[in-house]
Structure 1
Amino acid sequence: MRRAVGLLWLLLPGLVAQEPISVGLAIGVAWALTSFLSHPRFYCSYVECCPSAEQRLDASALKVQLDSKLFGQHLAKDVVLKAVLGFSTNPARKKPLTLSLHGWAGTGKNFLSQILVEHIHAAGLRSKFVHLFLPTLHFPHDAQVKLYKDQLQSWIRGNVSACPHSVFIFDEMDKMHPGLIDAIKPFLDYYEQIDGVSYRRAIFIFLSNAGGDLINKAALDFWMSGKPREEIQLKDLEPMLSVGVFNNKNSGLWHSSLIDRNLIDYFIPFLPLEHRHVRMCVRAEMVARGYVVDEQIVQAVLEEMTFFPKEQKIFSDKGCKTVQAKLDIHEGAAVRDSRAKR
C-alpha cells in the first residue's frame, strides 16, 4: 500500500502537465490499483496472513485425516477434535486452549499436533504463526532459567500481538527445566488482556513422555481383564495422569502452577500400540511413498519390532517410531532382489 502511494506521488509532477481530465483519470486508476493490490484476498494469496476471527476450523476434514492417519488413539482423536472445534466456534472464549499430550514415543503425539496445526494454518509447522520449542535446543542450560523465562514471555507476547491465532508447541516437556514452563502462566490464565494483548485465541500444546508408564499400565489392565481398548474413556486416565505429572520431577510440570491453577484444559493419553496398529502404520507409510502395499514386506517390518510385556508381547515399545527406517531397509532389499532377477 505504501509503495503504491509513493509511486503515485512520483508520477504526480508529470501528470500535472496533462489535461485535468487525464490527471483525474490517472489518479483514479492508481488508487483503484492500489486498493486491489492491498485487498486481503489478493495479498494473502501470496503472503501468509493470520486467520481472521470469522474463519472456522473445517472439523470434517480434520476428522477424516485423523481417522485415516492416526491409529490406535480413539481417545486422543475424540478429545482433540471436540476440544478444538468447541474452542474455534466459541465467540466468548475465556482463555487460550491448552492441551497436554502424554504417552510413550511413537504413539502419535507429534503426528497429531502436525495434522492439527495444518488445519489451523495451511503451512503447518512451516507457518510463521506456529512456534515449536525444544528444551534441549532452546533452553539447554540449567543456570540460565531466569533468562529463558524472560525470553519465552517476550517471544509469546510478540507473536500473539502479531497474530492472535498463534500456536505454541512445547515438545519433550519431560526434558524441560523444573519451573521454566510456569513463566507462561499469565498467558494461559483467565485474563481478558495483558498489557493490551488478548491471548484468548491462541493454542498451547505440550508433548511429553511423562505419564506413559501410567497409561501403559491402564491399557494392560484393560487387556488382562478382557476389555477392548476402545472402552477406555478419558475419565479412566485423566485424573491419574494430571496427578502423576504434577508429582513427577522429570515431567516438566512438576508442582507447576499450570496444573495447580487448572489452566491445562485437557490431559490427553496416547495408548501403547498393538500389533494391528503397527501393521496399519507400515501400510500407510508404503501408500504415502506411492508403493503398492506388499504384505510380505509389511510382515517383515512387523517381525523386527519389539513388544512388551516380555511374556505376552502385546504392545510395541517404540510405537511406530522406527517404521520408516525399517521400511527403508526392506524396500531397498526388495528392489535389489527384483533387479537381480532381471
Structure 2
Amino acid sequence: MRLRCWLVFAVCVVWSFTITAAIEPISTSIAVGMAAAITGFLASYQNVLYYFQECCRPEWISYNKTGLKHDLDTKLFGQHVAAQVILKAVTGFMSRENPKKPLVLSLHGWTGTGKNYVSQLIAENIYQKGMSSSFIHLFTATAHFPHEKHIDLYKTQLQEWIRGNVSNCARSMFIFDEMDKMHPGLIDSIKPYLDFYDNLNGVSYRQAIFIFLSNAGGENIVEVALDFWKAGRQREEIKLKDLEMALALSVFNNKNSGFWHTSLIDKNLVDFFVPFLPLEYKHVIQCGLAEMGTKGLVPKQEVVELMAQDLNYFPKEERVFSMQGCKIISSRLDFYIN
C-alpha cells in the first residue's frame, strides 16, 4: 500500500512537470530527470519501505529462540513444566519451513498463573510489534461470542476472519481466551483450519499458530501440586507426565471444559495441552518485584511482602498456594506503594 502511494506520487510529479514544461520548455529535462530518479529509487530500494510499516516479511516476523528461552526463565515464575513444553513446541514449529499442520497449544490452569502472559512472551519473540502486531488476533469467549442463539452467525464470522487474515499473512497467530466458556460447536467450526491439509480453497494454514487459554483442568492440576507438597516433595519434581492424566480427566471428560465432545480431541489436533501450576507465596513475591521494575520503581522486598501477606492462600491453615496468582498484583501494588 505504501509503495503504491509513492508510485502515484512519482506519476504526479511527472505529470506536474510535464504541464510546466508546456509553458516553460526548458524545464522538460529537469522534470524527466527528477521523475526518473524517483522511480529508480522506488524500484531499487522498495524494501526500505517495509521498515516503516509492518508487513508479512522476515523484517517483522522472525523467531527469537534465545529471547523466548530467556523470557521464560526470567519472567515466568513457578511454571517449569509449562516453560519447557512451550519452548520445545514453538522452537520445533518455527524451525520448519513447511510444517504439516498449524501449531495448536492449549494452556490450562487457574487464573493468574501466567497463561495470558506466556502468549504475550511468544508473540514478543516472533513479531517485532509483539501483541500490537496486526497479525495477532485475540478472541474472548464472553466478549466476542456472548449469545448462544447467534452461534451460526459467530461460526461464519470466525471462519471468514481466520481465512481472511491467513490469506493476508500465513504467519498469523490466533489466541482464544476463556475456552472453557466457548460453545463446542464454535470450537468445531475452526477444526478445518487446524487439520493436516495442504490448503483449503487455495489457502494454506500450516504456518499459523492457534493458542487456547482455559481454566479447565485447574482444580485437577492443583490436586497434583498439593499431593506433591503433602508428600514433602519439591515442586520442581513435578513432570509433565504427572499432570497429563489430571488434564485428561478434566478437559476430555468434563462437559464444562469447552472441549467436551469436540472433534479437536477426537482428531488429535491439539499438539500440546500445557498445564500451569498454582503459584506459591515465593512466586507472588517474584511477580511483585518484577512488577515494580516494570513500573520504573526500585524493587523493595518489604513493600512486596506486605502486599503478598494480605492475599488469599489455600489450604486455609497452611497458606501454600495463592488463590489469585499474579493477576491482581499490578493494581494491588499501587495501593501499598502509595
TM-score after normalising by structure 2: 0.91
Counterpart mapping for 1:160-175 below 5 A? 160-175=166-181
Aligned to 1:337: none
Aligned to 1:31: 39
Deviations 1:37-66 (A, max 9, x none): 6x23x2222111123499641111111112
Aligned to 1:335: none
Instruction: Label 1:157 to 1:73 Cα distance change in 2 as closer, same or farther (>3 A).
Output: same
Contact 2:136 2:173 in 1 (8 A): yes
Q: 2:95 aligns with which of 71, 89, 94?
A: 89
One-letter amino acid of the counterpart of residue 267, structure 2 = R
Q: 2:112 aligns with which of 106, 116, 137?
A: 106
**In structure 1, how many angstroms separate the alpha carbons of the residues matched to 2:6 and 2:132?**
30
**In structure 1, how many angstroms separate the alpha carbons of the residues matched to 2:6 and 2:321?**
62
Deviations 1:113-162 (A, max 9, x none): 11111111122222111000011111010111111111110000000000
Further displaced range: 183-192 or 277-286: 277-286
What is the SS of the residue equivalent to 1:120?
Answer: coil
**In structure 1, how many angstroms separate the alpha carbons of the residues matched to 2:271 and 2:59?**
22
Q: Would you say 1:2 and 2:8 are equivalent positions?
A: no
Further displaced range: 20-29 or 54-63: 20-29
Contact 1:242 1:267 in 2 (8 A): no
CA RMSD in angstroms, aligned pairs only: 2.1
One-letter amino acid of the counterpart of residue 57, structure 2 = P
Q: 2:291 aligns with which of 285, 289, 314?
A: 285
Structure 1, unaligned stretches of length 5 or more? 333-342
**In structure 2, how many angstroms separate the alpha carbons of the residues matched to 1:242 and 1:120?**
30
One-letter amino acid of the counterpart of residue 107, structure 1 = T
Q: CA deviation at 1:305?
A: 1.1
**In structure 1, how many angstroms separate the alpha carbons of the residues matched to 2:157 and 2:234?**
46
**In structure 1, how many angstroms separate the alpha carbons of the residues matched to 2:67 and 2:58?**
19
Q: 1:302 aligns with which of 286, 289, 308?
A: 308
Q: CA deviation at 1:240?
A: 3.4
Aligned to 2:148: 142
**In structure 2, how many angstroms separate the alpha carbons of the residues matched to 1:299 and 1:55?**
40
Counterpart mapping for 1:226-237 below 5 A? 226-237=232-243
What is the SS of the residue equivalent to 1:169?
Answer: strand
Q: CA deviation at 1:8?
A: 4.1
Q: CA deviation at 1:33?
A: 2.4
Q: CA deviation at 1:27?
A: 4.6
Q: 1:65 aligns with which of 55, 61, 71?
A: 71
Contact 1:131 1:169 in 2 (8 A): yes
Contact 2:51 2:59 in 1 (8 A): no
What is the SS of the residue equivalent to 1:179?
Answer: helix
What is the SS of the residue equivalent to 2:51?
Answer: coil
Contact 2:60 2:127 in 1 (8 A): no
User: In the comparison of the two structures, how many residue pairs are matched?
Assistant: 330
